[in-house]
Structures are given as C-alpha cells and as structure tokens.
Structure 1
Amino acid sequence: MGRGARTAGWLSYLGGWVTGLIFLLLKREDRFVRFHAMQSLIFFGAMSIATTVFSYIPLLGFIGEGLAFVSFICWIVLMVAAARGRYYKLPIIGEYAEKWANSWKG
C-alpha cells in the first residue's frame, strides 16, 4: 500500500461521514481506502444521528455529550491507524464496513 492510500485513508475520517462518503465515491478502486471510508461513513453517520436525537430529548442530553466524546476519541484513533496503514476495525461496525467495502466497488 502506498503513501497515497494511507493519506486518503486518514483523510476519509477527517470530516466525519461527509469525507467518508467523498472518499468512498472517489477512491473506490482501493480496498484500504474503501474500508476506511465505509467505516467512517457508518460510524460517524450513526453517531451524528444519535447525538442529534439525544440532544433533543430532555434529561437524556448527557448521553449525546458522552457519545460526542466517544466519537472524538475514535476519530483520533482511526485517523492514526489509517495513517500508519492499519486496518483498525471498530467492534461490530468494523465487520460491516469490511463486508460492505469488499462487496461495493461503486
């Protein structure tokens, strides 16, 4: 795997699900980038929805804040892993990301 793939891999996490979607569409021929872009799209998409929903429910707003903190930690870990050329799979989501990235080639 080249430096370009590693760069695209960590950049797919930089802007959350938006950059995940962009790199999924632009770099669909590279398996490494496809995996990280798919994982970014699934994880940060789900976290965006969950934090938004919890922020509007009285007495449960703290859950949204906790999810935002977890998202931030995962964001850093995932970018570093991709920059180092590693396939770091999040529990549950990583399996789906790998499966869908391998079957989806655009």
Structure 2
Amino acid sequence: MQDKHSSPTSSSGLSQNTAAALSYVLGFITGLIFLFLEKDNKFIRYHAMQSIVISVSLIILNTVLGFIPFIGWFFNLILAPVGLVIWIICIVKAYQGEWFEFPIAGPFSKEQIEKMS
C-alpha cells in the first residue's frame, strides 16, 4: 500500500522498499540516518522511526533487566533471540513494501511521522 504522498524512490535514489529495509540494519543509527535524509517519503520515514523506537526500547529493556539478578539476567538471554526475530521480520516486511506495524512501536511511529509532516 503506497501513500499518496510517497514516491517510489527515496532522496538517496534507492527504491523505497530498499531504503525502508536498510533503516533497520543498524537499529537506531540507520533509523536516524534515513529519518533525517528522507524528507518526502512517508513509507521510509515511518520504517526509520519504527526502527528507532524498537531498537531504543530493546536497549533500555536490556539495560534494566541487566540490573535484576538472576530473573532479569534470564530474561536478558531470551531478549537477544527475540530481538533478532523482530529485526528480521521488520526488514523483510519493509522490503516487501508493507506498512507493518509492530505492536505499540508501529502506531507510535505512525503518529510521530504524521506530526512531523
């Protein structure tokens, strides 16, 4: 589903699907890069924002759980493969051109992109 305000390419010359998928590759770092570089394409900006929200949330959760002995450490061990699965799903869905909304992060990201427009 393409937004009427989106173009099929990005400001960088990449296809929007490629740019959206790449916004997840290094988490919030590539998310920030594509969020600031892309001015017009809402599809890319949405996935960049969702990348930032998810990766920062996982970093915070990982840090907080690290301070809780035993149970927190156990959940930290589970968080790594779960984070990997989330990362892969997001990259694949973005590359397929889907406005995939991860729970909580997706609606929040969409709201932020609408505010920025």
Q: 1:27 aligns with which of 38, 51, 59?
A: 38
Deviations 1:21-73 (A, max 9, x none): 11111113210000000000001111011112212331111112222221100
Relative contact order (C-alpha < 8 Å, sep 6+): which is higher? Answer: 1
Q: Which letter does structure 2 place at the counterpart of 1:44?
A: S
| Structure 1 unaligned blocks of 5 or more | none
Aligned partner of 2:17 among 3, 6, 31: 6
Q: Secondary structure at the match of 1:102?
A: helix
- Determine if contact 1:47/1:68 at 8 Å carries over to the other structure: no
Q: What's 1:92 paired with?
A: 104
**Are 1:103 and 2:115 counterparts?**
yes
Aligned residue number for residue 18 of structure 1: 29
How far apart in 2 are the matches of 1:57 and 1:96?
28
For the Cα contact (< 8 Å) 1:8–1:33, is it kept in 2? yes
Using the TM superposition, name which of 16-25 and 56-65 deviates more.
56-65
Alignment root-mean-square deviation, CA: 1.3
| 2:65 equivalent to 1:54 | yes
In the alignment, is the contact (CA less than 8 A) between 1:81 and 1:88 conserved in 2? yes
Equivalent pairs counted in the alignment come to 105
From the CA coordinates, give the structure whose radius of gyration is larger.
2
Q: Where do 5+ consecutive residues of structure 2 fail to align? A: 1-7
Identity of counterpart residues, as a percentage? 35
Poorly superposed stretches of 4+, deviation over 4 Å: none
